[in-house]
Structure 1
């Protein structure tokens, strides 16, 4: 083999070796991102006052990047600051006197930092473990979802049901983990929403709680109808003249979802499109029935009863 051929063979072997090293390095970086870059950060939320009047804040957690770019958690402002005071009244007085300072603009998180993903293009940083804490407030008990762990998960592009594990009665003899389920993110102007539900039983110290779980998801508009079955007793006349009591099933339906406020401007300036001369009184905010059908039958007492079932839903003011 001549000198030129030997040099070509050497360069080829060197290229293959470097390619393998780069590939292994990339795999190690991806594995590191999946395991270490997506972590739980503290995020305190003020939820109210307990029965003694003391402000209550809960660390609900936040899944955020610890690799690449800035990973500063969002400032909690007054919710974190009021923990230093014995009561909400003292906190408000301190705020009025300038004790509770607002975060400086220099420390505010930049949009590019918020959108940066530590998991790569095909993954997203999501919670993997959530527990449900029950907090007794002055107005009554309240359930709060608290993130326990985070990790990079594969980004889903289709509308499917996704697992969502929640731990109830954490660190008690009644601790139970339930997959309540969820739906993947919105796509192409539609929302991936739950369309079928089931229930799971969770034993408690006082009774049995019924937990609603998501079984199936589908692409829907913001306001949509879901099945909701109710049962009634009805009297049916048989061919031989005997009256028979039967169970009647009616899918009365339910309207779910929210309606966007939309553009409330009815008349804009011809010279300056940013200027609005006339605003709508109220935006459309509620999702309600648009059409229905009636089911009439004879009840147990021999009286005619009519049940309406929703056939479609729409946004209405």
Structure 2
């Protein structure tokens, strides 16, 4: 592969990424065991170009940088960002950085564990950003997370995420409806990490399956005692509710702008209806398990 091809290829790649990059975003997460405040730079993906990126050539950037070659530059692209090669690569003020068909999203997340006075807390830190294609339908997309970074126990897993709710009805969004899990090794033990397995377009407050197993005692026609395993989907309520959940009037020029909101039912997603499952336990006692059949927003 020639150096000229590398320059041309990297120029196009960089033009796509120039205005989609990680910026510092420092948050306060609590106090450490000594009582000192702990601030963490979790990062944020910049979503618009504006006019903050002046025109500069790739070749000039390489000449003035510490890198001696394009290959060296590519190796350090996570920590070094140059400007587009020409002014045509920069978007007009206010225009989307990734075009109309994609958005600026995290490309990789690192999960750090910080010891605070209240206990251990996990903090997700954006490491890099990229232009991600918009999806017209609700699908599960890959989402890489790194655990125990820069240690012998470093693990990268696809935790998954839900994307795509373009044109969704008011009050609906693309959310996880099925979860999976994976094991990672740690310095102290093996841990179970929850991952997103399936997504669906749902209302803000919704029910997901949650299976429990119970031993059940029954008797056959001959009066012989039989022990079996009973599977019960008890369900869980997920999602969030907003105080203004319904738009009564939208702008004629911009359908994304709501001019008048109707008051919602509150901000707690709780069980609405139940059904009961009654069976005989291993100890010969009658046991009843309640299963959620629907959820609603309640203040």
Q: Distance in 2 between matches of 1:137 and 1:228?
A: 32
State the TM-score, normalized to the length of structure 2: 0.73
- Determine if contact 1:48/1:56 at 8 Å carries over to the other structure: yes
| Counterpart selection for 1:56 from 38, 54, 59 | 38
Q: Distance in 2 between matches of 1:213 and 1:203?
A: 16
Q: Does 1:255 align with 2:234?
A: no
Q: Distance in 2 between matches of 1:262 and 1:235?
A: 49
Q: Report what 2:212 is aligned to.
A: 230
Q: Distance in 2 between matches of 1:206 and 1:152?
A: 37
RMSD: 2.4
Q: Report what 2:144 is aligned to.
A: 165
| Counterpart selection for 1:246 from 205, 214, 228 | 228
Q: Report what 2:100 is aligned to.
A: 121
Q: CA shift at 1:131, angstroms?
A: 0.4
Q: Which digits, 9 at most, give the CA deviation of each residue in 1:24-53, with x for residues without a partner?
A: xxx998644323331111111111111112
| Counterpart selection for 1:184 from 155, 160, 163 | 163
Name the one with the larger helix percent.
1
- Determine if contact 2:174/2:200 at 8 Å carries over to the other structure: yes
Q: Distance in 2 between matches of 1:63 and 1:260?
A: 25
Q: CA shift at 1:65, angstroms?
A: 5.3
Q: CA shift at 1:68, angstroms?
A: 4.5
Q: Distance in 2 between matches of 1:31 and 1:170?
A: 27
Q: Report what 2:203 is aligned to.
A: 221
Q: Distance in 1 between matches of 2:163 and 2:222?
A: 55
| Counterpart selection for 1:46 from 28, 34, 40 | 28
**Long gaps (5+) in structure 1:** 1-26, 72-111, 264-279
Q: Distance in 1 between matches of 2:21 and 2:113?
A: 24
Number of residue pairs matched by the alignment: 234
- Determine if contact 1:39/1:66 at 8 Å carries over to the other structure: no
| Counterpart selection for 1:34 from 8, 11, 16 | 16
Q: 1:304 to 1:132 in 2, by over 3 A?
A: same
* Equivalence map 1:1-317=2 (5 Å): 31-64=13-46, 67-70=49-52, 116-187=95-166, 188=168, 189=170, 190-262=172-244, 284-317=266-299
